[in-house]
């Protein structure tokens, strides 16, 4: 038989435990999300397609976390170029970024597959592959110290220069073209007959202005947002490469988060995807029309000439496939063919 003192002790323990049990019954997000902020760095201006995605992402993170998780945006390369940003993420001094996956080829070879020349014919093909099993498999192979959350859109890359329109394969000859620090695009531009010049994005405008290089290659919306039309006369719609953007989190920052906090960031990145792609592609269309109206000489490249360029680059593509891994490249190209046949 229990004594009055024993009963009193049991009652006291029950009163202490009751609030804890009640708290355990609350939704995980309400219970676990803590006040914190995250630096989100990217090289494009805030009013670019990258900026549009980053702003929507920040809004969703704040809404999903009831204001506890705040995203602080650092656009325009204010915290450094892409390569410096990758290093900062790995070191944990910057928590998030978005950039083309090909910039991480030196850390993870599989990511190079996205930079294969003339891999995609349309946005629909790219989206389907990236959001499907193959794209998710590749995302899981993000370099050490980085966590992939979602694919956004950067666009098809086009060549601009200050010397002449590029309408045929032969027009590439002798042009000194700034490229990103990706081995894949260096091989592609050299393979087309130009002289690829790797350079950090933050240095490009000055290099074009001083004629240190003849031209550059980027999606049209990037060309417009960074006012390259001020120092470039010709823009040729070569569409020689499609670039997604990958949203990345610092592995060190990720390790400090609990499941509820990770879920907020992942869901926000994925939910931003459709909006960011739409904005990016609308910006491209508007930029093309606006650039023409402002005097940039924009020329289309015929489908027949693009196919000729693709065939010309076949040896380059074969070499790149060996570097990346022929099995992976075969898997990706087979999936692209399947998607085309399913249309």
Number of structural domains in the chain: 1
Is residue 6 situated within a structural domain? no
Provide the pLDDT for residue 5. Answer: 52
Q: Measured between alpha carbons, how far is 79 from 88 in angstroms, rounded to an integer?
A: 9
- The answer to whether residue 18 is domain-embedded is no
Q: Which element (helix H / strand E) includes 341?
A: helix 326-341
The residues of the chain scoring below 50 in pLDDT are 1-2, 4, 6-30
Q: For residue 22, tell me if it sits in a domain.
A: no
pLDDT digits (tens, 9 = 90+) for 250-268: 999 999 999 999 999 999 9
Question: Is 23 inside a domain boundary?
Answer: no
> Which tens digit of pLDDT belongs to each residue from 18-45?
433 333 344 444 459 999 999 999 999 9
Cβ atoms within 10 Å, residue 177: 23
Q: Exposed, middle or buried by CB within 10 Å (0-12, 13-18, 19+), for 163?
A: middle
Dist. CA 159–CA 188, nearest whole Å: 12
pTM of the model: 0.84
- Is residue 166 situated within a structural domain? yes
| Strands 146-161 and 215-218, sheet pairing | antiparallel
Among candidate residues 46, 47, 124, 49, the one with its CA nearest the CA of residue 285: 49
What the block records as the tokens of 18 is 């009751």
CA distances from 163 to 173, 193, 296 (A): 11, 15, 12
The predicted-structure confidence for 305-329, as pLDDT tens digits, reads as follows 999 999 999 999 999 999 899 999 9
User: What phi and psi, each to the nearest 5 degrees, are found at residue 175?
Assistant: -75, 135
Instruction: Please state, in angstroms and rounded to a whole number, the distance separating the CA atoms of residues 139 and 137.
Output: 5
187: tokens are 């091989």
Residue with the two structure tokens 């990720």: 254
Distance CA 23, CA 59 (A): 28
Residue 114: predicted pLDDT: 85
How much is the pLDDT for 31?
53
Whose CA is closest to 85, among 241, 222, 226, 246?
A: 246
- Structural domain for 85, as ranges: 32-341
For residue 332, being part of any structural domain is answered with: yes
CATH number at residue 222: 3.40.190.170
In a domain, 159, yes or no: yes
Q: Classify residue 3: in a domain, yes or no.
A: no
The answer to whether the CB of 280 falls within 8 A of the CB of 153 is: yes
């Amino acid at each position: 038989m229990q004594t009055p003192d024993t009963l009193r002790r049991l009652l006291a323990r029950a009163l202490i435990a009751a609030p804890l049990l009640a708290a355990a019954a609350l939704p995980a997000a309400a219970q676990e999300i803590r006040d914190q902020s995250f630096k989100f760095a990217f090289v494009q201006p805030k009013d670019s397609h990258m900026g549009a995605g980053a702003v929507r992402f920040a809004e969703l993170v704040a809404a999903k976390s009831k204001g506890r998780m705040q995203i602080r945006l650092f656009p325009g390369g204010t915290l450094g170029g892409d390569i410096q940003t990758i290093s900062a993420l790995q070191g944990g001094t910057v928590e998030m970024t978005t950039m083309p996956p090909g910039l991480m080829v030196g850390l993870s070879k599989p990511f190079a597959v996205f930079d294969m020349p003339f891999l995609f014919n349309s946005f629909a093909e790219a989206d389907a592959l990236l959001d499907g099993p193959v794209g998710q498999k590749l995302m899981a192979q993000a370099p050490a110290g980085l966590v992939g959350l979602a694919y956004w859109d950067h666009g098809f890359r086009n060549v601009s220069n200050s010397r002449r329109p590029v309408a045929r394969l032969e027009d590439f000859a002798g042009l000194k073209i700034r490229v990103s620090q990706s081995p894949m695009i260096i091989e592609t531009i050299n393979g087309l007959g130009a002289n690829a010049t790797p350079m950090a994005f933050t240095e490009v405008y000055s290099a074009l202005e001083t004629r240190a290089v003849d031209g550059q290659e980027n999606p049209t919306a990037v060309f417009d947002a960074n006012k390259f039309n001020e120092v470039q006369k010709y823009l040729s719609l070569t569409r020689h490469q499609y670039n997604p953007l990958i949203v990345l989190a610092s592995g060190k920052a990720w390790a400090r988060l609990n499941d509820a906090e990770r879920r907020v960031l992942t869901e926000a990145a994925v939910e931003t995807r459709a909006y960011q792609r739409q904005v990016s592609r609308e910006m491209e269309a508007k930029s093309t029309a606006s650039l023409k109206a402002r005097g940039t000489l924009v020329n289309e490249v015929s489908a027949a000439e693009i196919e000729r360029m693709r065939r010309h680059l076949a040896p380059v593509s074969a070499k790149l496939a060996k570097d990346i891994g022929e099995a992976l490249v075969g898997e990706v190209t087979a999936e692209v063919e399947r998607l085309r046949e399913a249309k």
